[in-house]
Structure 1
Amino acid sequence: MRITILLLSLISILTGAKTFAQHNYWQQQLSYEINVALDDKENELTGKMSLQYRNNSPDTLYYLWFHVWPNAFKNDRTAFSEERLRNGRTDFYFSKEKDRGYINQLDFRAENESLETEDDSVNIDVIKVILAAPLVPGEEVILKTPFHVKLPYTFSGSGHNKTQSYLASNWYPKVAVYDENGWHPSPYLEMISPYEEFADFKVSITLPRNYVVAATGDLEKADEIKWLKGRTKAPEREKLPVKKNKNSFGKPKVVYKEIASDPETKTINYSAKNSTSFVFAADKNFIVKYEEITVNANTVTVWAFYNTKKFCCDELSGFTAFLKAIRNAERTLPPLPYKNISLVEIKTGGNPFVFSGLIAEDGHHLTLPASHLLNRMFVGRLINFNEKDEPWLSLGLNEYLNRRSGEAFGERHHWNYELKTINDNLLNKAILQNQDQALNTGFDQLTTKNKKLVHAIKGAAWFARMRSLLSPVEFDNILSGFLNDRTLKHGTSNDLKLAFATTDNSDADVLISSIGKTGSLDSTVRKSKRRFELFYQPEKWDSVPKTYIAPSIGYNTSDGLMAGLMVHNYSLPFERFRYFVSPLYGLRSGEINGLADLGYAVYPGRKISSVRFGVGFAKFSSQSAKDSTGKRINAGFMKFTPSVRLGFRNSSVLSLVDKWLEWKTFIIGETGFNYSEGSDGQYYPSKSDIQYRYLNQLTFNITDTRILYPYDASLQVQQSSDFYRINLNAQYFFNYASGGGLDIRLFAAKFGYIGERSVAKEFRTYAFQPKLTAVRGNEDYTYSNYFIGRDQSSGLPSQQIMMRDGGLKIRTDLFQDLQGRSDNWVSSVNLSTSLPASVFPEQVPLKIFFDIGTYAGAWEQNSDVARFMYVGGLQLSLFNKILNIYAPVFYSKTFRDNLKTVPEENKFLRKISFSLDIHRLSARKSRFLNILM
């Protein structure tokens, strides 16, 4: 992914007409001098650092905390690695040793006296340096240390890629912030900007002379500046012969020979004032473009370091858009105190300096993201907030300013309007479900969903609400004064409260107090008239309740093609009462069929997070035939499913575990065929009367959707008039470091009779008894799975199975005794593993499966079947595992011997089966619709 990085030079402190600072505000004074050399053969940095640290606090300091953040990439047990896993990324966790990074060779000294260091008890990227003597208020100490950094592959913010392109951020030992609340040591985290001290920098970088370097601050070498200004094109590179990848069907990419590093080196010097960090990027292929512009009477040189022509040299480029955004920045931001701004196009991961939306489809789309970048520069770099303790202040203010920028450029015509509306609706959904958290909640205490909602979206809503309570002019004056006063300082919510305390608006005082409370920021109740819309149009998401109407189709062998309508309100804004109704007309059967689901949810909070009352309906044909008159008749099922589901709240805010308990009753009416002899001596069917039955089902389910080793387990109890059944189903995914993994499924079932066992009960409960082999359509006794031909005994539809019970994937339709059916117990293990990409192309999702199981009958005395039965073969999973095709290759002797007796059944194609797991499209498991549930 190509993104842009901002490298800035701070040259002055902004002043405002009105300030709201704390009277006794103080800030530590730091000055770094760093000499560093890049070894692009080993991807290493070697250098020396000198830190002058002045204690402006009223406290005596006995030690300094340092961030040694290159160690965040040292192993898979760091806070960064854990955060990546929580965010669904395994690339770093499974990375190779050569692609990881670290910092070592540290030797802190003061006046040439070696200082003792202590490792943090939890985080290896944080250390404590014990001072040789107490550092009293008003005094300073100079610490020096050598350092060596093994740069990681560019996972997040700092590192290298395969083309010798380097980005160095957080690469040197950084002293942590000490403020009125004490020390703030923190491990490196990707999702929040670091809380850092402002400092002056003098940095010299030594590297091969043909590297182009972009860095924080002002370049102090005139001949290097002249060279950069003349870098109007990239050096020529030799095109290498294209090699076809035998494991890929894609068109081979054009590959160019890498430019050799110049054996001669150069040393370039930079200086920066009042910066929170020093960042540099180096690449031998960069092209450079620059332009001087005047903003608020200040002359600023804007540089672009890029690889692609689109980034720079046409009207749709990121550079052009950014220039426009800077010129418009005075509308929403104080004057920018930069002498140089550099935009760098580089392949990297996310970090606080990264902005990834600058290149878009048209000029209007570009201007808004560029203004977002400027806002992020200001609210994070020029005013440094503690995002770990008060994430809402920085990210909420930034999001608010982004929305103001959108208004300035006509946001209703921009994608950001839809995104804003979606986010606002998701926040309202969280509030309705009692899942939101107070604005002043620290980052570590936010739930995974609220990390994306509370600190940014609810924070922006707070600022917007405050503006609506005050006059726009008064609000803008107060906010402008706050931004001016806090520039090049640390900012807190207390500073913001002091700023707005100047107003006499009582409603504003209530809003200020709401920072520590959950719930809506606006108590005004607004009702909107429901709107009916054709089709599903997410681009029209807004706060108006909607009912969508769209055509729907379906198919099965008995009803044929079905056509009808789909009516639902599964959209945003979220509603407590949700419905889905889809009547369908069978073009072959002439039957009116369909599906429906209605539910109402309440959200008590505390241990019970939700209670949903629902009822479902389904009606379809499952058999068809012609009667004695030649007329087509149909038989099938109809079911009602009232239910109550309880969702349980997790004890840990970081947990992705979903636990629920559900009671569901299946009330099912079934029709079939009665056969009688006609006048011609043939037997003809007639439709039987509808027969009703019920089944009560209690299910406890626990699911952990974590990216590493996710699992799902359920314990289910079913009961009907003649029997009870207990099912245990557990699924686990074991990730492979190279990609893919092993699916493990464990199944066990206990069956028993209610009342005395009898031959009649055995016959009536035959289809309900668990078995080893996979289930066919006529054994889906709750009608919960989609089948093309539910009662078909020949042709392609008859080869469909569903993954329930033992799940041994071999067809033994003609051999009832081979199915491992039991009216006592059944147990099995199902394994499925992906194959290495080096062996099979990624476009061919081929797997190997192996199933093994046993059942009570195999352990009885005088049993003539093996105690354990197995089958293995090839599995092809298509369309995100919705369609799975199974081809048995080897299996138990019992299966093999019996299949040989019927040659037609023993053919390879005849033994192939397939499953259609339509449940994978359900709203709960769809990544897109998950936001709606």
Structure 2
Amino acid sequence: MTMKQTLTAALLALLTAGVQAQTDWQQRVDTELSVTLDDVNHELRGHVRIAYQNNSPETLEHVWIHLWPNAYRNGSTAMAKQHYRDGDMFMFYAMNRDLGGIDSLAFTSAKQPLTWNCHPEHIDIAKVELAKPLPPGGRVVVETPFRVDIPSGSISRLGHVGESYQITQWFPKPAVYDDEGWHPMPYLSQGEFFSEYGSYDVKITLPANYTVGATGDLVPGSEDNDAEKSRLDSLAADTKMWVKNQGWKDAENTFPESSQRTKTLHYRQDNVHDFAWFADKRYKVLRGTVVLPRDKRKVTTWAMFTPEEGELWQKAPEYLHDATYYYSLWNGNYPYNQVTAVDGTISAGGGMEYPNVTVIGTAGSDSGLETVIVHEVGHNWFYGILGSNERENAWMDEGINSFNETRYLLTKYGEDKDISLLLGGENNLAQRFELEDFQYKWIDELSYLFPARFGADQPIQCHSNSLTSLNYGAIIYKKTAAAFAMLQSHLGEVAFDKAMQLYFDQWKFRHPGPEDLQLCLEKSTGEDLNWFFGDWIQTTKRNDLALVKASADKGLTVKNAGDLPSSAKISAMQGDSVLAVVDVPLIAPGARTTVDAPAVSGVDRWVLDEDRVTLDYDRSNNVRQASGLFKGMEPLQLRMLTRLEDPDKTQVFWLPALGWNAHNGLMAGVTLHNMALPPRDFTYQWTPLFSVREFGQGVDFGGILAMDWRKDQWHVGMRSSQFRADEAMQLRPELAIPEYDGDLLTRTSLTVERKLNAAPASPWKGVARYEGVHVYGYVDPAPDAMWTLFPNSG
């Protein structure tokens, strides 16, 4: 270790110690719940006992409590307004029976009533005044009965569809209090949660023929648990036979009558920050076991599903096993005894995670079901065990989890797996549009490029509710996943995994922020990662590396033509084979570096970032041919319609064109364009059209030319069209010329436009736009002229 490295490591250690000293306390909330399901009136009646431990250095006089079922109360809640913004008007027109809410609250402590009021803006948040101040180290118990009207499952995550219940965010629950103060937040569909860790002891009473998937373990010998365990064993055996006989072919998916007998199931779990449960009388059940890779402890997996997609769900135990194994291998062992996936109706996305249990919506295909199960199970690490503030730092759970999801699929199915993994096996669409060579791992980058190329992207570090719905998926999920794949490539897989395991060990069952993740990675790797956690995470700056020179003798020169520091790799290629790979160190924006070319023969081209891990905004400058006059020119690809962008080709697309107007008549031609998917910054479209003139006057040539350049908030466009037009309309009828069929009219416009939106998620759009138009071919007759056809440029 050099002196510089020693000083850097010492500084990082001091910074790490300083940050830990600021967050070495965390509140604890232990919760006891008892609840009864009324599946006739679709309501819950329950009681909650909250033991709140104040581990902070501050004295607390009140506790903020989330009453999130009230988000479904009416069309004026924060959730409803978010839905309206995204075009979902269900809550605006909903009947009362579709809405929900929580009531019958009476907060007490030591049997004494407590004063409480709803938040002035949000009816799903309450402020409960304590009977006396709670000092540091003190503990208070707050209790209340409650009743929940279960809303329609068409709205968000809490709800029912018939007699299938998803019971989530359903009880009074304290907000987080940390060194930043209280974090009371209204329930939102886009933008998830932040809650205190503790233990849950929950008793659920419901008709005896419901099957329940829930957070926690059934407590042995408690209530009806022993009988329920035997019932689950029997259901698992029956389902195994049902699957063997392909029972889904003729199974009914209707709800049986509810049993007149009830049962009470008792669950308990420690070190979690939420409790959710799902109940359905139709569930089939499959059970499995996974042996964790580090401590070899056995974890039980449960798949609970209806017959509707039973053919797909027969493989669910495999997906649960593999997800739990690989996430444990890369990040840290799963600390609980069971992991469950349930088949259910969910409106806020394809699946939703809760501690130990996840609900999965309609999948449609094997690959669709596996991807969602893996992603939602993965949230047990990134949200469940590592409890970041999802509302403010959504990328820390959704994005890092998406990175692990992609890594899982590539590990299981191969790094070179093509897009059929997404489309589901052999696919005519993939063949027709030549997608067989498009690798699945490139999807994360591609998803980011769509909004980025239109200047509509937002930073990764962004409050959930300030993101557009497009960017919540493309940026929070996909761009973050691609960015962490780039970071993994930069650090190396072994060093990256070691750093992530340190993060897991240091912050499990706690509330890490971005700076905590950064310090863990820096402490483990000894590398300053400000370049990544700064501009990469906090801005929309572009990464654009260019291979400007490539010579076996003079080396390989890379220029950073973008705005972000980046490292990369250069591959020596022969056809589709990689002959050698050379590392390019971190390059600052505007700088260039030269590395030695590997001593290999037979190279026909050099490709910068052949694996596509750098989120390169413009890959057209990433290839240099090993010989020839135009070493930076890719071979031409001429195809019908369009294709995904291929950085190894100069792409031109065509399609036949037909047109008609009163003066030209029927016109035929072709459209030539370069609009790949996603569109590049510069696009063109040229449509030459030909028609036969009347009176034997020959052939007309006209058409349309359009060119556009887009960069961030700027758009410059040029349009030009030429068609025949009758400009002698001022002729007196007695002077009309039968042989005259109009004159050519050319219209050319130049547009310069800039978006002004400071808040992309706002329904208000601001644009500054200039358009200049030049027209050639109009008649400009003198007032006393009979007619004139002299063109002008007015």
Normalising by structure 2, we get a TM-score of: 0.72
Does the C-alpha gap of structure 1 residues 420 and 469 become closer, same or farther in structure 2, counting only changes over 3 Å?
A: closer
Query: Does the alignment pair 1:160 with 2:160?
Result: yes
State the 1:543 CA deviation. Answer: 5.2
Does the C-alpha gap of structure 1 residues 403 and 522 become closer, same or farther in structure 2, counting only changes over 3 Å?
A: farther
Asked whether the equivalents of residues 670 and 692 of structure 1 are also in contact (C-alpha less than 8 Å), the reply is yes
Does the C-alpha gap of structure 1 residues 376 and 638 become closer, same or farther in structure 2, counting only changes over 3 Å?
A: farther
Of 401, 416, 431, the match for 2:404: 401
The match for 1:583 is 688
The match for 1:178 is 177
Asked whether the equivalents of residues 642 and 675 of structure 2 are also in contact (C-alpha less than 8 Å), the reply is no
Asked whether the equivalents of residues 207 and 258 of structure 2 are also in contact (C-alpha less than 8 Å), the reply is yes
The match for 1:336 is 334
Moved more, 146-155 or 436-445: 436-445
Query: Does the alignment pair 1:489 with 2:510?
Result: yes
The match for 1:190 is 189
> SS of the residue aligned with 2:184?
coil
State the 1:182 CA deviation. Answer: 1.2
Moved more, 78-87 or 332-341: 332-341
State the 1:49 CA deviation. Answer: 0.8
The match for 1:201 is 200
The match for 1:571 is 676
The match for 1:552 is 656
The match for 1:599 is 707
The match for 2:432 is none
Of 631, 636, 641, the match for 2:748: 641
Does the C-alpha gap of structure 1 residues 622 and 196 become closer, same or farther in structure 2, counting only changes over 3 Å?
A: farther
> SS of the residue aligned with 2:331?
coil
Equivalents in 2 of 1:597, 1:322: separation in Å? 54
State the 1:476 CA deviation. Answer: 2.0
Task: Give percent identity, aligned residues only.
Answer: 26
State the 1:394 CA deviation. Answer: 2.4
Tell me the amino acid that sits aligned with residue 72 of structure 1.
Answer: A
The match for 1:226 is 230
* Per-residue deviation, residues 56-107 of structure 1 (Å, max 9, x unmatched): 1121111111110000000101110011112221122221111100101111
Tell me the amino acid that sits aligned with residue 172 of structure 1.
Answer: F
Equivalents in 2 of 1:33, 1:171: separation in Å? 13
The match for 2:279 is 282
State the 1:263 CA deviation. Answer: 2.1
* Per-residue deviation, residues 198-228 of structure 1 (Å, max 9, x unmatched): 2211111111222222211112311111112
> SS of the residue aligned with 2:33?
strand
Equivalents in 2 of 1:294, 1:41: separation in Å? 42
Query: Does the alignment pair 1:262 with 2:265?
Result: no
* Per-residue deviation, residues 606-654 of structure 1 (Å, max 9, x unmatched): xxx424141322436899xxxxxxx999657542222223234124443
Equivalents in 1 of 2:394, 2:215: separation in Å? 25
Equivalents in 2 of 1:545, 1:573: separation in Å? 15
* Per-residue deviation, residues 484-542 of structure 1 (Å, max 9, x unmatched): 3222221111111211332676663433333444413566336145553402455x345
State the 1:439 CA deviation. Answer: 3.9
State the 1:345 CA deviation. Answer: 0.7
The match for 2:346 is 348
Of 608, 612, 615, the match for 2:719: 615
State the 1:434 CA deviation. Answer: 6.0
Query: Does the alignment pair 1:413 with 2:418?
Result: yes
Does the C-alpha gap of structure 1 residues 148 and 542 become closer, same or farther in structure 2, counting only changes over 3 Å?
A: farther
* Per-residue deviation, residues 377-426 of structure 1 (Å, max 9, x unmatched): 32112211112222232232122222322331335423557786465356
Tell me the amino acid that sits aligned with residue 222 of structure 1.
Answer: D
Normalising by structure 1, we get a TM-score of: 0.62
Equivalents in 2 of 1:689, 1:320: separation in Å? 82
Q: Unpaired runs of 5+ in structure 2?
A: 1-15, 220-224, 240-250, 423-437, 546-559, 562-618, 623-632, 728-737, 780-786
Tell me the amino acid that sits aligned with residue 650 of structure 1.
Answer: N
Equivalents in 2 of 1:348, 1:555: separation in Å? 47
Does the C-alpha gap of structure 1 residues 285 and 452 become closer, same or farther in structure 2, counting only changes over 3 Å?
A: closer
Does the C-alpha gap of structure 1 residues 214 and 370 become closer, same or farther in structure 2, counting only changes over 3 Å?
A: closer
> SS of the residue aligned with 2:343?
strand
* Per-residue deviation, residues 417-454 of structure 1 (Å, max 9, x unmatched): 77864653564566667655444333344455543444
The residue correspondences of 1:309-388 to structure 2 (distance < 5 A) are 310-311=309-310, 317-350=315-348, 352-353=352-353, 359-362=363-366, 367-388=370-391
State the 1:665 CA deviation. Answer: 1.6
Tell me the amino acid that sits aligned with residue 703 of structure 2.
Answer: L
The residue correspondences of 1:640-659 to structure 2 (distance < 5 A) are 640-659=747-766
Asked whether the equivalents of residues 218 and 267 of structure 2 are also in contact (C-alpha less than 8 Å), the reply is yes
* Per-residue deviation, residues 834-883 of structure 1 (Å, max 9, x unmatched): xxxxxxxxxxxxxxxxxxxxxxxxxxxxxxxxxxxxxxxxxxxxxxxxxx
* Per-residue deviation, residues 566-619 of structure 1 (Å, max 9, x unmatched): 22122345433221012234489884545333334365x7xxx42414132243
Tell me the amino acid that sits aligned with residue 721 of structure 2.
Answer: F
Equivalents in 1 of 2:748, 2:32: separation in Å? 72
Query: Does the alignment pair 1:468 with 2:515?
Result: no
State the 1:557 CA deviation. Answer: 7.2
Does the C-alpha gap of structure 1 residues 45 and 619 become closer, same or farther in structure 2, counting only changes over 3 Å?
A: same
Tell me the amino acid that sits aligned with residue 388 of structure 1.
Answer: R
Does the C-alpha gap of structure 1 residues 370 and 264 become closer, same or farther in structure 2, counting only changes over 3 Å?
A: closer
Size of the alignment, in residue pairs?
A: 627
Asked whether the equivalents of residues 311 and 359 of structure 1 are also in contact (C-alpha less than 8 Å), the reply is no
* Per-residue deviation, residues 289-329 of structure 1 (Å, max 9, x unmatched): 212332331212211211126436776x4444333433444
Does the C-alpha gap of structure 1 residues 425 and 326 become closer, same or farther in structure 2, counting only changes over 3 Å?
A: closer
Equivalents in 2 of 1:210, 1:266: separation in Å? 9
State the 1:478 CA deviation. Answer: 0.9
State the 1:561 CA deviation. Answer: 6.0
> SS of the residue aligned with 2:263?
strand
The match for 1:520 is 542
Tell me the amino acid that sits aligned with residue 83 of structure 2.
Answer: R
Higher Cα Rg, which structure: 1
Equivalents in 2 of 1:227, 1:255: separation in Å? 21
Moved more, 105-114 or 547-556: 547-556
Q: Unpaired runs of 5+ in structure 1?
A: 1-18, 235-253, 624-630, 672-687, 695-720, 722-933
Does the C-alpha gap of structure 1 residues 465 and 58 become closer, same or farther in structure 2, counting only changes over 3 Å?
A: same
Asked whether the equivalents of residues 465 and 521 of structure 1 are also in contact (C-alpha less than 8 Å), the reply is no
> SS of the residue aligned with 2:656?
strand
State the 1:331 CA deviation. Answer: 4.3
The match for 1:708 is none
Tell me the amino acid that sits aligned with residue 22 of structure 1.
Answer: Q
Asked whether the equivalents of residues 28 and 178 of structure 1 are also in contact (C-alpha less than 8 Å), the reply is yes
> SS of the residue aligned with 1:194?
coil
